[in-house]
Amino acid sequence: MHEVALAQAVWRQVAAEMQHHPGRTLLEIRLTVGRWSGADPESLQFALQVLAAESPWPQAALHLRTEPLAVKCQACGREFEPQELNLACPDCRSADVEVTRGRNVYLESLEVE
Ligand SMILES: [Zn+2]
């Protein structure tokens, strides 16, 4: 399952970060999930909850933020948020666009006590 592997990767990052804060308590994990990352936020949240429950910080709160998709037109340089699957540039109608945001899952911040 994609989300389980993703959650494990995120959790390894969390654990590595917490090694820099020995004796501290992890209160909150903020995670950004791109709309086009292919990850289902609910499954991801569930997988993370399972990992948190087995960790030294079972009380840590999880906040997932969905990041909208953004693309940049390679023809005219305009950046925009496409509607649904229409990726054509609203200015010059070029379909030569590059996805600049919304493709990844990443750890935004951790709150420790
Ligand atoms: Zn354009």
If you measure from the C-alpha of residue 88 to the centroid of ligand 1, how many angstroms do you get, rounded to a whole number? Answer: 8
Count of structural domains within the chain:
1
Q: Span 2-30, mean pLDDT?
A: 95
pLDDT at 39 over 80: yes
If you measure from the C-alpha of residue 89 to the centroid of ligand 1, how many angstroms do you get, rounded to a whole number? Answer: 5
In eight-state DSSP terms, residue 77 is -
Q: Do strands 105-112 and 79-80 pair parallel, antiparallel, or not at all (unpaired)?
A: unpaired
Higher-pLDDT residue of 1 and 108 is 108
Task: Measure Cα distances from 60 to 30, 103, 110 in Å.
Answer: 10, 26, 10
Q: Do strands 70-73 and 79-80 pair parallel, antiparallel, or not at all (unpaired)?
A: antiparallel
Which residue range(s) make up the domain with 22? 2-68+102-112
If you measure from the C-alpha of residue 69 to the centroid of ligand 1, how many angstroms do you get, rounded to a whole number? Answer: 16
Element at 2 (helix H, strand E) = helix 2-18
Q: Which pLDDT belongs to residue 1?
A: 55
Asked if residue 46 belongs to a domain, the reply is yes
Asked if residue 97 belongs to a domain, the reply is no
